Amino acid sequence: MGAANARAARSASTSATTRPPTTSSRGAFTVALADAAHVAEADYFGIATGRKVDKAAASGLTFIPSEHVDAPVIEEFPLTMECIVKEV
C-alpha cells in the first residue's frame, strides 16, 4: 500500500469511529490520584491506548461527572484535581 493510500485508510477509519471530546474542546480535564488499593487500575490507564480499547469501561472503575468542570471524576480515587484549560 502506498503512503497516500495508507493515509487515506487511516483518515477513513478515524472519521468512521466516534471519539470522545478532547481536552481542548471540553475546556477542562481532571487529574486523579489513586490510593494503594487502586494502583493496578491507575497503571492500566498509562499502559493501554484509548485508540484500541475503552479504558474507562475496561478498568471497572466508576466515572461520574465533575461538580465543577466538564470532565469525569473517578469515584474510587481519593483525590481529583479539576482543571480548566485557559490557553492551548
Domain boundaries, given as residue ranges, for the chain: 21-84
- Tell me the fold of 21-84: Pnp Oxidase; Chain A (2.30.110)
From CA 22, how far away is CA 20, in angstroms rounded?
6
Question: Phi-psi category of 68—alpha, beta or left, where left has phi over 0 and alpha has psi -120 to 50?
Answer: alpha
Instruction: Name the phi and psi angles at 33, rounded to 5.
Output: -105, 130
Confidence grade of residue 22 (pLDDT, cut at 50, 70, 90)? low
pLDDT digit string, tens, across residues 43-82 = 999 999 888 999 999 999 999 999 999 999 999 999 999 9
